[in-house]
């Protein structure tokens, strides 16, 4: 009986099958085309410099600060970071450093870091009302959920303080009294190595080139940490009527499922209401050089408050890196985002390492002094980099290539298909 039913279906003419399938195929092609990021005619985000510069120590500086969130037990790791940035940058430019802690500072931490930073540092304690659960959140339920997230093996999700930190860096940070007088910030983390000399002032160059946000590394977010974040951001974007720009398109992996079936994909994690997927690519926010005025705008603060009320900073583990990245992609002209590809940077196990510029190391510079550095290489852009420029990074370059699509003519083939 079953064979009698199936056999006629096998005999359906090819022309009928094609006539049914063609509109769906055409719709998918059109949908994917809408998310295509056009290749610019020229490079729109090039390095500010491609070799060592004589540090212009007498030039006018920007209203900027270096900021590190650290705990007393991270003394050694914090000191490592400050030692590195002093050697490679701040010994010439003398920008102030603000250390933040959610607890009272230990006198030993202050003593050691004051010495390493040559007295340029101040030590602030984050107000308790900015490092806690927001109003309206069921604290008992949130704590239980945090415990369960940890049991599921989501990185850092079982640590209550980590959730507070992500929420703080996503919004409250920019309203902190100790930072209100500054426009620009350079975010530092304990246990960081800068491996190239930074002989120009990045704050001045960011302002001169009208940049808003600068990064070094882009990679995938841990998907199970934030299954509902993208939907919430995309819903806010649609609610506010914000037009889609090319950087937002670059964040998205458009669905291959045809309409109207594509709408059913919206039930899955990392999808918007139309079924399209966030690629999970984001800027790694432990390094940021950015204009705080952008994060203080009404638009960004409205977005943060909307997300805060959703509860995802606690009932999921929404990270500040993902929040910043999606906000920048949605609200900032892609030409105002800068990749500091000439910076050598390491945090945890990941690094970026440019090759040294040929003939551009200024070995006789009295300000830069002597030292040893890696060999120069053709097409290198680094200044006195100590790392091996033959391996520019130790992590996949897919997200970096994907997020740079709006501003570069370089288009690795793999970026088109993932």
Ranges of beta strands (E only) in 173-270 are 184-188, 192-194, 213-215, 218-220, 252-253
Q: How far apart are CA 395 and CA 339, in angstroms?
A: 16
Q: How far apart are CA 175 and CA 185, in angstroms?
A: 13
- For residue 196, what are the CA distances in angstroms to 217, 257, 371? 15, 46, 12
Q: How far apart are CA 307 and CA 224, in angstroms?
A: 17
Whether 288 is catalytic: yes
Residue position matching structure tokens 């720009």: 245
Cβ 352 vs Cβ 396: under 8 Å: no
Q: Which residues, 6+ apart, have CB-to-CB distance to 69 below 8 Å?
A: 99, 100, 101, 165, 169, 189
β-strand pairing of 252-253 with 121-125: unpaired
Closest CA to 338 of 346, 328, 330, 350: 328
CB atoms within 10 A of CB 133: 17
At residue 101's C-alpha, the angle toward residues 166 and 314, to 5°, is: 25
The catalytically annotated residue of 277, 288, 316, 341 is: 288
Helix axes 298-310, 229-240, angle to 10 degrees: 130
DSSP codes of every residue in 92-130:
HH---EEEEESSPPPHHHHHHHHHHTTT-EEEEE--GGG
Where in the sequence numbering do the catalytic residues fall?
Answer: 288
């Amino acid at each position: 009986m079953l064979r009698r039913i199936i056999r006629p279906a096998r005999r359906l003419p090819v022309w009928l099958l094609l006539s049914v399938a063609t509109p769906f195929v055409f719709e998918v092609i059109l949908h994917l085309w809408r998310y295509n990021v056009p290749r610019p005619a020229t490079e729109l985000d090039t390095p500010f410099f491609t070799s060592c510069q004589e540090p212009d120590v007498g030039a006018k500086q920007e209203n900027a600060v270096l900021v590190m969130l650290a705990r007393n037990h991270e003394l050694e790791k914090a000191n490592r970071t400050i030692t590195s940035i002093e050697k490679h940058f701040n010994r010439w430019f003398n920008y102030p450093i603000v250390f933040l802690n959610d607890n009272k500072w230990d006198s030993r931490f202050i003593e050691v870091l004051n010495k390493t930073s040559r007295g340029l540092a101040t030590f602030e304690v984050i107000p308790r009302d900015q490092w806690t659960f927001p109003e309206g959140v069921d604290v008992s339920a949130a704590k239980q959920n945090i415990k369960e997230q940890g049991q599921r093996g989501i990185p850092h999700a079982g640590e209550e303080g980590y959730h507070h930190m992500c929420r703080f860096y996503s919004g409250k940070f920019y309203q902190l009294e100790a930072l209100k007088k500054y426009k620009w910030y350079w975010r530092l983390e304990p246990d960081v190595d800068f491996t190239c000399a930074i002989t120009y002032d990045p704050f001045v160059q960011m302002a001169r080139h009208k940049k808003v946000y600068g990064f070094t590394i882009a990679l995938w977010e841990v998907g199970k940490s934030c299954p509902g974040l993208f939907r919430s951001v995309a819903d806010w974007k649609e609610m506010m009527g914000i037009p889609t720009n090319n950087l937002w398109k670059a964040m998205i992996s458009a669905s291959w499922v045809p309409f109207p079936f594509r709408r059913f994909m919206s039930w899955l994690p990392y999808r918007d209401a139309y079924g399209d997927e966030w690629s999970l690519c984001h800027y790694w926010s432990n390094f940021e050089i950015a204009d705080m005025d952008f994060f203080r705008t009404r638009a960004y603060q409205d977005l943060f408050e909307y997300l805060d009320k959703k509860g995802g900073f606690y009932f999921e583990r929404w990270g500040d890196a993902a929040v910043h990245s999606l906000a920048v992609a949605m609200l900032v002209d892609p030409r105002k985002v800068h990749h500091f590809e000439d910076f050598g940077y390491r945090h945890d196990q990941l690094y970026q390492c440019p090759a040294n510029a040929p003939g551009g190391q200024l070995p006789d510079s009295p300000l830069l002094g002597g030292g040893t550095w890696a060999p120069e290489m053709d097409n290198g852009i680094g200044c006195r980099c100590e790392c091996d420029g033959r391996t520019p990074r130790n992590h996949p370059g897919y997200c970096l290539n994907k997020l740079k699509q709006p501003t570069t003519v370089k288009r690795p083939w793999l970026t088109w298909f993932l």
